[in-house]
Amino acid sequence: MSINLHGRNVLSVDTLAPGELRFLVQLASDLKVAKRSGSERKQLCNRSLAFLYEQDLPFVRAALEVAACDQGAHVICIGQDQCAKGTPSEIRQMAGMLGRIFDAIECCGLSIDIMTAVAGQAGIPVHNALSQQCDPCQLVADFQTMREFTHKHLSDVTLSVVGNGSVSAARSLAIGAAKVGMDFRLVSPKELWPDQQFIDRAKAEAWKNGGKFTVLEDIAVGVLDADFVYASRWFSHEEDIARNDRAVQLLTPFGVRMATLEATGNPHCKFMRFVPNFVCHQTRKPGADETGSPDASKNVVEAKASIVLDQAENRMHATKAILVATLAR
């Protein structure tokens, strides 16, 4: 079946069919090969992209700027003081103006409601680079990375996500895994599980595509036989650290340690982590180790099993894949 995403918005994982998600993962891999071999073809020459952000996450912006440059496009950044703070009418008007100037809009840190309003008025593709509810770009990068480090098809992979089950990365991984038919385990304190409606939806999607979706608190059971253990970040970017004392207490046993990887019983198991948290986390959280984050120990992050740097590189290729798929003529 032919896949055509030209002109499409990519606001959430939910809007991507399983075939479309697999297509983006394959396209990201192809673009990576082309860049490394020096055979990449510029398909977005003279295109102008707006980076609309409420939170300026340097790594997310860098991935976009490099991806755009490689493809011949250029990026204009529009910060939080200039966007997303007005009334719904003002946001719609702003989106209409941006649609007349740019060829696509990348949103970072905006709510789904605001992005949907922008997409409804702009008349050009709008992409979710990162929001509290979802992160489709990182999902494509993560699946691309998994394919590089296993001989298995995605549908045969067992993925254990350990940490806060309610943050955007965990929720995106859950829905994405369900769409491609993975055996997915969300290992989290029960108080931080996603809402029941989300769990029911993920289970139904997984069943439809031949996968499994499990939410549990037992770490040993949750990571057994896992091909990948993914440390879910403990806090959303938007959360106030001062209000997280209870979450720290709940999550402390769920920090990924070498013992966690050993509990998989799989000597080939790889460790993964939310990339912006690893690369540009600027504020130390309570209970953080010297990496600046509590979700994984330093020796795990730097272990041979760690593929977080591959994730970091692949976010750029995933960003590029979404741009090319939706904008290339």
What length is written for the chain? 329
What mean pLDDT comes out for the span 308-329? 96
Instruction: Please report how many Cα atoms fall inside a 13 Å half-sphere around the Cα of residue 309, on the Cβ side.
Output: 7
Q: Where are the beta strands (DSSP E) in the chain?
A: 48-53, 74-78, 104-108, 126-130, 158-163, 183-187, 212-216, 228-232, 270-273
Model confidence at 106: pLDDT above 90 = yes
Model confidence at 92: pLDDT above 80 = yes
For residue 50, the cross-strand partners are 76, 105
Look at 21-35, 171-185, 205-219, 287-301 and tell me which has the smallest mean pLDDT: 287-301
The closest of 326, 320, 248, 262 to 42, measured between CA atoms, is: 320
Q: How far is the C-alpha of 177 from the C-alpha of 262, rounded, in Å?
A: 23
Q: Is 46 left (phi over 0), alpha (psi -120 to 50) or beta?
A: left
The band of 243, judged by pLDDT with boundaries at 50, 70 and 90, is low
Determine the pLDDT at residue 242. Answer: 44
Q: How far is the C-alpha of 195 from the C-alpha of 182, rounded, in Å?
A: 21
What mean pLDDT comes out for the span 20-41? 98
pLDDT in tens, 285-316: 444 544 445 788 889 999 999 999 999 999 99
What CATH topology corresponds to 13-134+314-327? Rossmann fold (3.40.50)
Determine the pLDDT at residue 237. Answer: 56
Asked whether the beta carbons of 232 and 274 are under 8 A apart, the reply is yes
Mean pLDDT, all residues of the chain: 90
What mean pLDDT comes out for the span 218-235? 94
Determine the pLDDT at residue 256. Answer: 95
Look at 53-62, 114-123, 142-151, 196-205 and tell me which has the smallest mean pLDDT: 53-62
Residue 133 buriedness (CB in 10 A; 0-12 / 13-18 / 19+): middle
Task: Give the number of other Cβ atoms within 10 Å of residue 128's Cβ.
Answer: 27
Does the 150-306 domain belong in CATH 3.40.50.1370? yes
Determine the pLDDT at residue 146. Answer: 98
Q: How far is the C-alpha of 248 from the C-alpha of 231, rounded, in Å?
A: 15
Model confidence at 160: pLDDT above 60 = yes
- Matching CATH topology for 13-134+314-327 and 150-306? yes
Look at 68-82, 264-278, 315-329 and tell me which has the smallest mean pLDDT: 264-278
Q: How far is the C-alpha of 230 from the C-alpha of 296, rounded, in Å?
A: 10
The band of 95, judged by pLDDT with boundaries at 50, 70 and 90, is very high
pTM: 0.92
What residues does each domain of the chain span?
13-134+314-327, 150-306
The closest of 44, 34, 7, 35 to 324, measured between CA atoms, is: 44
What is the DSSP secondary structure assignment for residue 10, as one 8-state letter? B
- The residue type found at 81 is D
Look at 72-76, 136-140, 216-220, 242-246 and tell me which has the smallest mean pLDDT: 242-246
The band of 168, judged by pLDDT with boundaries at 50, 70 and 90, is confident
Copy the structure tokens of residue 6: 């030209």
What mean pLDDT comes out for the span 228-234? 92
Determine the pLDDT at residue 283. Answer: 41
Per-residue CA distances from 140 to 176, 224, 268 (Å): 9, 25, 22
